[in-house]
Structure 1
Amino acid sequence: MKIVAYGASNSSTSINKKLATYTANLVEGAEVTVLDINDYDVPMFSEDLEKEIGQAEGAQQFLDDLAKADAFVISYAEHNGHYPAAYKNLFDWATRIDRELFKNKPAVYLATSPGPSGAKSVLSAAVTSAPFYAGNVKATVSVPGFYDKFDVETGKVTDEALIAELTAAVAKLAE
């Protein structure tokens, strides 16, 4: 199974990217490709700019990289209850090229934050909107108190209950 994983954040120290990477690698024998949304250069979306330049090359590259997946593990960062602007902008450009960018491939949606909410607001928004973009969400996990459950130096979850929950979530990718 080829899994594409990414954190929907442009932070160079993204805890969501760390969580997505860890979780995708729980799938035994999977070939995991971790994307960094900073690698997809797109200008700020507007219909006027789209008329002027057409498709943004970075958005097409993002779609090309998504197309290589059999499944997705995506962890959503939350800024004031919503998607971070950088991710939303890339997503907007990509969906103008292909609205069904997730192609009904199985996905696990995650979200985490250092605080007690576990980025539940953005996770809910992502799950609710998934069908509009051919998203096939098999499981979701919200992780509050990230630094209490994840060792950043080793890149591993330290909480046994969370390990079990993430393992059960990614097992659904093969169903």
Structure 2
Amino acid sequence: MKIVAFGASTSSTSINKALAEYAANLVEGAKVTVLDIANYHVPMFSEDVEKEIGQAEGAQAFLRDLSDADAYVISFAEHNGHYPAAYKNLFDWATRIERSVFQDKPAVYLSTSPGPGGAATVLAAATNSAPYFGGNVKASVSVPSFYDNFDLDKGGIHNLAIQEQIQDAVSLL
């Protein structure tokens, strides 16, 4: 199984990217490719820009990389209760090329934040809107208080209850 994992964040130290990579690597025998959405350069979306340049190359590359997957593990960062602007912009460009961005492939959606909310608001938005964009979400898990529950040095969850939730989620892929 080929799994594409990414954090919906452009931060070079993204806790969501770390969480997505950790979870994807729990799938035994899977070949995991971790994407960095900061590598998909697109201008700010508008219909005027789209008329001028056509399909943004960064969005085309993102869709090509997604098409290589059999399944996805995506962890959503939350900025003021919503998607980070960079992810939302890339996603908007991608949907103009292919509305079914996620191609009905199985996915696990995650979210985390340093605080107790665990980015649950954006996770709910992503999960609820997924069917409109070819999202086939098998499970979703919000991880609160990331730094209290995840060991960055060891690259894993040390809270056994959360570890079990994530393991159960990825077992559905």
TM-score bucket of the superposed structures, by smaller chain: over 0.9
Matches within 5 A, 1:59-74: 59-74=59-74
Give the counterpart letter for 2:16 in structure 1.
N
Which position in structure 1 is the counterpart of 2:91? 91
Structure 2 distance, partners of 1:51, 1:154, is 47
Structure 1 distance, partners of 2:164, 2:128, is 25
Structure 1 distance, partners of 2:162, 2:130, is 24
Give the counterpart letter for 2:42 in structure 1.
V
Deviation at 1:157, TM superposition (A): 1.1
Deviation at 1:160, TM superposition (A): 1.2
The answer to whether 1:109 aligns with 2:109 is yes
Mind listing any 5+ residue stretches in structure 2 that lack a counterpart? none
Q: What is the count of residue pairs matched by the alignment? A: 173
Matches within 5 A, 1:125-136: 125-136=125-136
Which position in structure 1 is the counterpart of 2:9? 9
SS at the partner of 2:171?
Answer: helix
- RMSD (CA atoms): 0.5
Structure 1 distance, partners of 2:37, 2:154, is 23
Structure 2 distance, partners of 1:58, 1:45, is 12
Matches within 5 A, 1:15-26: 15-26=15-26
Which position in structure 1 is the counterpart of 2:50? 50
Which position in structure 1 is the counterpart of 2:28? 28
Structure 2 distance, partners of 1:74, 1:166, is 12
Deviations 1:95-120 (A, max 9, x none): 00000011100000000001010101
TM-score of the aligned structures, taking structure 2 as reference length:
0.99
Which position in structure 1 is the counterpart of 2:140? 140
Q: Percent identity?
A: 71
Deviation at 1:43, TM superposition (A): 0.6
SS at the partner of 2:172?
Answer: helix
Which position in structure 2 is the counterpart of 1:75? 75
Structure 1 distance, partners of 2:164, 2:124, is 22
Structure 2 distance, partners of 1:94, 1:50, is 12
Structure 1 distance, partners of 2:133, 2:66, is 13
Structure 1 distance, partners of 2:120, 2:132, is 20
Deviation at 1:45, TM superposition (A): 0.5
SS at the partner of 1:172?
Answer: coil
Moved over 2 A (4+): none
Give the counterpart letter for 2:84 in structure 1.
P
Structure 1 distance, partners of 2:21, 2:159, is 16
SS at the partner of 2:107?
Answer: strand
Deviation at 1:60, TM superposition (A): 0.2
SS at the partner of 2:73?
Answer: strand
Give the counterpart letter for 1:158 in structure 2.
H
Structure 2 distance, partners of 1:18, 1:94, is 24
